[in-house]
Amino acid sequence: MSMAQRLMNAPAVKGELLYDAPLAGFTTWRVGGPARCLFRPEGREDLIDFLAALSPREPVTWLGLGSNVLVRDGGVPGVVIVTAGRLRSMSLEKDGRIHVEAGVPCAHVARFCSLHGFGGAEFLAGIPGTMGGALAMNAGAFGGETWTWVDEVETVDRYGVVRRRKPDDYRVGYRRVEGPEGEYFLAAWLRLQPGEIQSGQQRIRELLARRNRTQPTRWPNCGSVFKNPSGDSAARLIEACGLKGRRIGGAKISQLHANFIINTGGARASDIERLIALARQAVLERFGIGLELEVRIIGVAA
C-alpha cells in the first residue's frame, strides 16, 4: 500500500502534504534523502487533526529548523512533520509568563523576552533551532539551559491528544530530557526574571558576536556534534587528536571549532557520518573517552 493510500483517511489538511520530498533544504547541514511524506501544518489545530487521523502504525519524525540532526542519504520512512515557520505564535500572558509555540526559532524567543523586559533567556540567541527542539534536548549555550526557565509545557501525542504538563513530569539533565513516552512538545510557558531592556539587548549582541568568532556560522553545519564529557570539551579532545581540517568528501571538521563538521559543498550525509565515526574512534583510542552524540542521526542509508 502506498503512502498516499495509507493517508487517505486523513482530513483535508490546511498545510502542505508532500510525497518523496527532499529533506536537504529542511536541515542546516543541507544534506539528506527524501521524506516519504512531509507535512507542514498550517497551525496547531491542523497538526492535531492530522495526528488524530493518521494510522498509528505510521512512523512519525519531527523537524524544527533541522539543526542538531543528520538525515541519512536514503531518507526517512513514514511521515516527517516540520514545525518551523508553522507553530510560530509567541505572546506575553497576563500572568507574566511567555507563551512560545514549538516552531518559533530560539533566537526570536531571546529577542522577544528581552524587548519585554525579561532576563535569563538571552542565551537562546546562540541556539540555531526552534523552541520545540530546545525543549526536547534541554538545549543550551553560553552557560544557559532551556529548562531552567520552563514553567509548563503543552504536548500532543500520536493520537492527537493534547496535555499540559509541569517540569516535575520530566527528568532533565545536560542535553537530555526524559518524559512521558510518545508525547511531543507543542508549546511552553516560560517564567523569567525581570530584566533591563537595554542590557538584555547588549547581552544578545555580545553572545552573537562571540558565536560568530568561535563557530563556523558561514558554513552549513548542525551545531555541536558531540556532548561535552564531564570536566572536558569534545572540541579540545578532537583537536588534540589532530583532526581539525580533516575532510571526507565535501564534509570537513571545522578548523575554527573542532566540535563542528561543516558542509563545504556537495557533502553527503555518509561523508559526515564517516567523519563522526572517525572522531569518536580517535578520541576513544587516545583518551579512552567515548564521545556521546548531541546530534540525532535519522533515516536509512542510501
Rounded CA-CA distance 266/275 in Å is 15
**37-75 confidence digits (pLDDT tens):** 999 999 999 999 999 999 888 999 999 999 999 999 999
Q: What's the domain range around 268? A: 216-298
What is the radius of gyration, based on Cα positions, of the chain?
20
Q: In terms of domains, do 145 and 185 share one?
A: yes
Q: In terms of domains, do 65 and 96 share one?
A: no
Mean pLDDT across the stretch 17-34?
Answer: 96
Mean pLDDT across the stretch 4-26?
Answer: 79
Q: In terms of domains, do 99 and 182 share one?
A: yes
Q: In terms of domains, do 54 and 141 share one?
A: no
Question: Residue 46: which of 82, 8, 6, 19 has the closest Cα?
Answer: 82
Beta-carbon contacts of 90 under 8 Å, excluding residues fewer than 6 positions away, are: 98, 99, 100, 101, 104, 108, 109, 112
Domain-ending residue, one of 32, 58, 82:
82
163 is catalytic: no
Entry field: residues in the chain: 302
Confidence of residue 4 (pLDDT cuts 50, 70, 90): low
* pTM for the predicted model, two decimal places: 0.92
Confidence of residue 263 (pLDDT cuts 50, 70, 90): very high
Q: What is the CATH number of the domain that holds 201?
A: 3.30.465.10
Q: In terms of domains, do 184 and 226 share one?
A: no
**142-157 confidence digits (pLDDT tens):** 899 999 999 999 999 9
Q: Considering the candidates 44, 72, 175, 268, report the single residue annotated as catalytic.
A: 175
The three-state secondary structure class of 126 is helix
Q: In terms of domains, do 184 and 77 share one?
A: no
213 is catalytic: no
224 is catalytic: yes
Question: Residue 135: which of 110, 103, 162 has the closest Cα?
Answer: 103
Q: In terms of domains, do 95 and 171 share one?
A: yes
Q: In terms of domains, do 263 and 153 share one?
A: no
Q: In terms of domains, do 67 and 161 share one?
A: no
**69-126 confidence digits (pLDDT tens):** 999 999 999 999 999 999 999 999 999 999 999 999 999 999 999 999 999 999 999 9
Domain-ending residue, one of 82, 111, 134:
82
Question: Residue 210: which of 94, 116, 145, 123 has the closest Cα?
Answer: 123
In the block, residue with C-alpha cell 561523508: 271
Q: Which helix (H) or strand (E) holds 53?
A: helix 44-53
Sequence-ordered alpha helix ranges (H) in 73-196? 106-115, 131-137
The set of cell numbers assigned to 137 is: 534536548
Number of domains in the chain: 3
Q: Considering the candidates 67, 114, 224, 254, report the single residue annotated as catalytic.
A: 224
Rounded CA-CA distance 198/190 in Å is 21
pLDDT value for 123: 96
Domain-ending residue, one of 213, 243, 262:
213
Mean pLDDT across the stretch 197-211?
Answer: 93
Q: Facing residues of 194 across strands?
A: 118
CB 87 within 8 A of CB 103: yes
- CA trace torsion 106, 65, 137, 143 (10° rounding): -40
pLDDT value for 73: 98
Q: What is the CATH number of the domain that holds 20?
A: 3.30.43.10
Mean pLDDT across the stretch 194-217?
Answer: 93
**Residue 182 CB: number of other CB atoms within 10 A?**
13
Q: In terms of domains, do 286 and 187 share one?
A: no
Q: In terms of domains, do 254 and 280 share one?
A: yes
Beta-carbon contacts of 204 under 8 Å, excluding residues fewer than 6 positions away, are: 110, 111, 114, 122, 125
